Amino acid sequence: MERMRLHREYCWSGINGGRNCGVTYERKREKVGGHWVIGMWALGPAVNGDSGGPVWDQKTKKIVGILSAANRISKEPCGMTP
């Protein structure tokens, strides 16, 4: 596992959308259930039901987190091949 960075492209997969990618643009730190959680927002397509899917750096092939929410979605899919 490695740390997610701003302005980098990451990919995720979900049961509804297959593999998608997007660029991170905002980092948020929030207190959830008494614990501090750091979240990263990325532009890219995600749909309801994709939550819990892995997020990874396709260059290093290392996991950086899990998909947990969708907001401000881009309609552009990832142009990479497996």
User: What CA–CA distance (Å, rounded) separates 60 from 8?
Assistant: 12
| Residue found by looking up tokens 């290392």 in the block | 62
Residue 12 host element (H or E):
strand 9-14
Domain count along the chain: 1
Asked if residue 48 is part of any domain, the answer here is yes
User: For residue 41, what pLDDT is reported?
Assistant: 86
| 31 class by beta-carbon count within 10 Å (0-12 exposed, 13-18 middle, 19+ buried) | exposed
What's the pLDDT tens digit per position in 22-79?
899 888 888 888 988 888 888 887 777 778 888 999 899 999 988 886 554 444 444 3
Predicted TM-score (pTM) of this structure? 0.72
Segments forming the whole domain that contains residue 33? 9-66
Quick one: DSSP state of residue 44?
A: S
Asked if residue 1 is part of any domain, the answer here is no
